[in-house]
Chains A and B, each alone.
Chain A
Amino acid sequence: MVSNAFFLGKGGVGKTTVSAAFALSLARKGKKVLIASLDPAHNLGDVLDAKLSDKPRRVEEGLDALEVDLGSWVDRYLKESKEELKSTYSYNLALNLDSFFDIMKYSPGTEEYAVLWAIEHIRCELAAGYDIVVFDTPPTALSLRFLAMPAISTRWVAELTKLRERILTRRQTITRINPSSPVASSCTDKDSDAVYGKLGSIKGRLAGLQSLFSQESYVAVVVNQDILSISEARRIADELDRIDIPLRAICVNKRGLSDAPWTLDPRLKSSKSFEFDFLRGGLSSRDDLTALDNSGLVADFMAEASKGTA
């Protein structure tokens, strides 16, 4: 069932404005909505005219908002891993854990995983209290990386699991033939092998996130009437295809800002498109968001959301 919405797009196209207006419309229709900003350069609070933190804060009746602090998620994860490692390898301080973990903070993939942990936290701990969760995403590069991460990691975990199964099979063989072998004292079956168990739990978590992205989410790309944002939207559509995440809608924002002739790229025409006028008066309060007529987008989302419950 679709109960999440992600708004992707090039920096500056108006993802935060469109997602905030979308969340506000749903809340004013009586839905309980949580909007979460995953963008490290947060401005959701400015758009909603409220001071936000990494915990849900009531913006108005039916609408809560939060700004995910990716840095604190990285620190929290590294602290937990460090404690676990220290308890296992306490005898071997030669590993110089502190400097090792300082490096881990900047390791490729850590920021993408921090986004995933935050989404997982919202999904498991917070989403139950809401009808819909709306995600305002970071610019394209990071968004595509974290959306692709479950699919990529799942392939790795599948290969590692196969290798682990071969290891366990060999251990069983040795133990059966020669019970006095030192191998016999190590784990020989899947149930008692901690590494195999951990691979299984990682696989389960990744499958949950992949399901959230591909089956439980309404993914929309926000574009402007310009070549740059359209080109990027085309790349996003290609990448989403590759990782089996359906692109449900194209939101053409700031319509009327330019008089230049413009047509939507044929590649994007397979998704529904919705157009929003450029707000000439700007945004000075939360109510200004209602000037963005998103009734078509909201109706389409509600239709998708009701499919799973019908």
Chain B
Amino acid sequence: MQGPGLALYLRKIAGTIAQVNREKAVEFVEFELKELENIFSLLILGGFVGLPSPPAPIAMELFPLMERELKIMLSRSDFAQDPLASLMGLLQVD
């Protein structure tokens, strides 16, 4: 393999490496994002399980807008079992 063929091949390898790195970077940021969204939900709803939280009326104003965050928090509860399961139990979410 010589000339333009080799250059094309090397460019393809470099492109693949860059793409893999980008996807890995995004995976990490996505994980961080989910954790941040989970923390945001916990801060809003924490008052129900004894965590420091903003005054309940502020939580109530934000609650209807947090569908995505609540879903993430529910899925996160699979990892953190007991504390969040208790929270959901308190909210009577089956």
Contact = CB atoms under 8 A, between A and B. Distances in A.
A289 B57 CA distance: 39
A157 B47 CA distance: 15
A96 B92 CA distance: 7
Contacts of B33: 167, 170-171, 174, 183
B67 A89 contact: yes
Interface residues of B, number: 34
B65 A194 contact: yes
A157 B69 CA distance: 17
Q: Is the interface of B mostly helix, strand, loop or mixed?
A: helix
Q: Is the interface of A mostly helix, strand, loop or mixed?
A: helix
B36 A177 contact: no
Contacts of A290: none
Interface stretch (A22-30, A44-52, A102-110, A292-300): A102-110
Contacts of B93: 92, 94-95
A206 B62 CA distance: 15
Interface in A210-232: none
Interface in A137-178: 149, 152-153, 156-157, 160, 163-164, 166-167, 170-171, 173-174, 177-178
A173 B26 CA distance: 8
Interface stretch (A6-14, A80-88, A235-243, A265-273): A80-88
Interface in B37-69: 37, 39-40, 43-44, 47, 54-58, 60-69
A90 to B, nearest CB: 11
Given A95-B91, A95-B93, A170-B29, A163 B58 contact: no
A95 B44 CA distance: 16
Nearest to A117: B57
| 8 A-B pairs with the lowest CB-CB distances in the bound complex, closest first | A109-B55, A156-B54, A170-B33, A107-B56, A113-B57, A88-B64, A194-B65, A178-B26
Given A89-B64, A152-B55, 15 more contacts: A92-B93, A94-B92, A94-B93, A99-B92, A109-B55, A109-B56, A112-B55, A167-B36, A167-B37, A170-B33, A170-B36, A174-B26, A178-B23, A183-B33, A194-B65
